Amino acid sequence: MNELIGLTQLLYSCWILSSPEGGGKETIPAGGGVLDYALRDAVRRGAFPEWARRQLHFVSGDAGLSCPELASIERLATGMKFTSDPNPSYTRTTVIVGEPLARRCLAKLNIPDAQAKQWGITLREAVAAAEEKLRLAQPGRVT
């Protein structure tokens, strides 16, 4: 579980630092498979340190792509008060911490802010691509 805590801090801190509005208090995908696909894409593009990439696994099944660690990561993010309490009907959750906490987490992980920001940008680009891909694959789905 300790490894997932560091991975959770890394992923959400990268998202926060890469916020185009600054401050990071916005939403992040939760459910619907978007983050599963986006994480796989970001990992394939070399985002995140090697220790983090090794902890993420991806499985294709009848329901699409799944990252088995993601449910635990999302629960940890909520438990650590990085995100709001989840609602199963929502496809996004609200990030409720800002840059100061993200920077503290990254310092503990020995990750430079500039590198984390770039990884966050890569993840955001992957999220946008995954949202579009899933929207096109399920045209009747409302997001």
Confidence (pLDDT) at 138: 65
Model pLDDT, residue 1: 54
The pLDDT, as a whole number, for residue 143 is 47
Query: Scanning the structure block, which residue is given the tokens 């926060």?
Result: 16
Domain boundaries, the chain: 2-137
In tens digits, the chain (143 residues) has pLDDT values of 578 999 999 999 999 999 987 665 689 998 789 999 999 999 999 999 999 999 999 999 888 899 999 999 999 999 999 999 877 777 889 999 999 999 999 999 999 999 999 999 999 999 999 999 888 766 555 54
pTM of the full structure: 0.89
- CA–CA separation, 67 vs 70, rounded Å? 5
Q: What are phi and psi of 96, to 5 degrees?
A: -115, 5
Paired strand residues for 29: 92
Distance in Å from the first CA to the final CA of the chain: 32
Predicted local confidence at residue 140, as pLDDT? 55
Rounded distance between C-alpha atoms, residue 118 and residue 138, angstroms? 30
Q: What angle do CA 59, 63, 64 make, to 5 degrees?
A: 50
